[in-house]
Structure 1
Amino acid sequence: MRRYGFHGTSTAYVSRRAAALLGRPYDEVNSIVLHLGNGASATAVRCGRSVDTSMGITPLAGLVMGTRSGDVDPALGAYLGRVAGMDLAGVDAALNKESGLLGMCGANDMREVWRLADSGDEDARLALDVYGYRVRAYIGAYYAALGHVDALVFTGGVGENSPRVRALATTGLTRLGIEIDPGRNAAESAEARVVSPEGAEVTVLVVPTNEELEIAEQTAACLGDA
């Protein structure tokens, strides 16, 4: 069995766009791509090639998502069978459809989670803390794996549209050279853009994904080779 990923098309597109925005050749740029939506993943890209990704042979692994748990103890299934009488199908359904943000606070739409947290809901606040912690943990792990990082790239429905999630995901990472400019981060735009301060060691980018274009370009390249 091989780790598959599932956001590879998006990662290929936005990591290439990130290199272009930096004005550097794609094969010279190290980036960490955060595709954050109802499904979410992190990918370490070294010089144009993915070297690690948070999802596994299914989309369940890695980050906390809307309804998916993300990483859990591999023995959890056996444990739930013993203590809760759950069969494998029940465990699979629970981890994929009833966990993550939904399981922690009753909502899987990030906008609703923030609304609940702002209204004083402690479960929603905890869900956001867990969500942010898991994203930062993967950033740190992939920073170590890459050795140096040129760009941290946010994409996906949440990554592109939620300044608060981007701030949450980068809190406390200034020692790694990762920080965002509050004004740039808060500015609304549908365009690819830099949200880190001028001169930041790691450029933080928001790059809207375009998986359809990436598929078309890769298809055209294959047909050209043929």
Structure 2
Amino acid sequence: MSDAGSVDTVFVLNAGSSSLKYQLVQPESGTVVAHGVVERIGESEAKVVLVRGDDTKEFIGEIADHRAGLAKALELSRVQDRDLTSEGITAVGHRVVHGGPKFYKPTVIDDDVIEAINELEDLAPLHNPVNVLGIEAIRELLPDVPSVAVFDTAFFHGLPDHVATYAIDRELAKKHDIRRYGFHGTSHEYVSGVTAEFLGADRESLNQIVLHLGNGASASAIEGGRPVETSMGLTPLEGLVMGTRSGDVDPGVVMYLRRSADMDVDQIDTMLNRKAGLKGLGGENDFRALTEKVEEGDADATLAYKVYVHRLRKYIGAYMVTLGRTDAIVFTAGVGENAPKLRADSLAGLESFGIQIDPERNAARSREPRIISTDDSAVTVLVVPTNEELAIARQSVAALQG
């Protein structure tokens, strides 16, 4: 599918409810040929951005749907030096959040796969339906290019049974596919692999705790390259405190709100997923804005920050016990990569557990993998930037090659 002189690329697509992020990447080298975003889909003043090298093209105007947004992005590319579709696109890689019990490998997409992803809507109502919108849009625009679904849950498919199982009626759980699936798997897998390579270690001999901290946040315990625990469960709601998601709550809260506040299931769902977490406690889901309010002495933001750190420390401790021996603790994603105070606070006072942070290393800014612990720290602490797009591109190529 590539023309003479071009290098094979993968068009990576991450579809949200009113947005699309896309990237054209060379999977072998990791070179990003172009990237962009479509924002405010369905609005009269939507925005489409395409960046290639130093050249940025923008469109502001009506974008009716995901297909129209992608079409406009491709149109913008035609007024640059080279049409994106002439860049040797061999596959389109799609991030799909929930694979359920059926999908745990990168999967070439056909009509049956789309139907099966749609059937998983109840497990990821905020994500899977819009993931399908992106799939359908690009299949219309690039009908001759195969699409591949890469599932957030795939890396955690092999969690031990005693970890994946909820203590509820086993027949009910079996009938409705209720288990712990885990999410952000593409990031956890990629980052743990980069960590092993960066340390010059055999991945099979390395025990890691990976902390993917963004607007969505999750932790994993990885033993010898294999995940043995993760914080998210049936849905991406379980676990750490997040930007707008509550993380762990007593399940009794749901029944209590239903009875005492007369909230229906949808209202409770919206509250826990969209109006909880840092936003619900501190009024801000953007971590930078929250920390600014903390620095200004805002009591609600300060409490939100402390709850966030407490939950993070709780999971780090639990996963150190789960692993028995921890070789590395790794911070990644937007917050994990860019919030040195949070990193320091989350590991403060753990010297007796072999964790010592070097303040200068921790404060240094870099887009490269780096160690932030002291030379004599028994546990190596790192910041490793994630690259889910590259991981999706490589897995897409692998799926097509069988």
TM-score normalized with structure 1 length: 0.96
2-side partners of 1:79 and 1:218: how far apart?
44
User: Unaligned regions of 5+ residues in structure 1, if any?
Assistant: none
Shift of 1:83: 1.2
Task: Write the letter of the residue equivalent to 1:165.
Answer: L
Distance of 2:356 and 2:307 partners within structure 1: 20
SS, match of residue 382 in structure 2? strand
Q: Which residue of 2 aligns with 1:102?
A: 279
Q: Which moved more, 1:32-41 or 1:207-216?
A: 207-216
Aligned to 1:55: 232
Could you tell me how far apart the structure 2 residues matched to 1:179 and 1:128 are? 22
Q: Going by fraction, where is strand more abundant, 1 or 2?
A: 2
RCO higher in structure (CA 8 A, sep ≥6): 1
Pick aligned residue for 1:20 from 187, 194, 197: 197
- Written as runs of structure 1 = structure 2, the 5 A alignment for 1:58-137 is 58-137=235-314
Instruction: Write out aligned runs for 1:140-155 (5 A).
Output: 140-155=317-332
- Supply the distance in 2 between the matched residues of 1:56 and 1:176 (Cα, whole angstroms): 28
Within a 5 Å distance, the mapping from 1:183-198 to structure 2 comes to 183-198=360-375
Q: Distance in 2 between matches of 1:133 and 1:59?
A: 19
Q: 1:80-121: per-residue Cα shift (whole Å, max 9, x none)?
A: 011111111111000000000111111111111111111111
The structure with more helix, counted as a fraction of residues: 1
> Helix, strand or coil: the match of 1:209?
coil
Which residue is equivalent to 1:10? 187
Aligned-partner Cα distance in 2 for 1:174–1:41: 24
Residue matched to 1:36: 213
Corresponding residue SS for 2:249:
coil
**Structure with greater Cα Rg:** 2
CA distance in 1, matches of 2:252, 2:225: 35
Percent identity over the alignment is 57
Q: Residues of 1 paired with 2:393 and 2:353: CA distance? A: 36
Tell me how far apart the structure 2 counterparts of residues 159 and 168 of structure 1 sit (CA, whole Å): 12
**Aligned-residue offset at 1:172:** 2.1
The alignment's C-alpha RMSD in Å is: 1.1
Distance 1:43 1:79 in 2: 31
SS in 1 for 2:273: helix
What's the secondary structure of 2:233's corresponding residue?
coil
**C-alpha displacement at 1:3, in angstroms?**
1.4
Query: Tell me, what secondary structure is at the counterpart of 1:4?
Result: coil
**Aligned equivalent of 1:182:** 359
Is the alpha carbon distance of 1:223 and 1:28 closer, same or farther for their aligned partners in structure 2, counting shifts above 3 Å?
A: farther
How many aligned residue pairs are there? 225
Matched residue type, 2:327: D
Measured in 2, the distance between the counterparts of 1:173 and 1:86 equals: 42
Paired residue type of 2:269: D
Q: Secondary structure at the match of 1:183?
A: helix
CA distance in structure 2 between the partners assigned to 1:179 and 1:100 by the alignment: 29
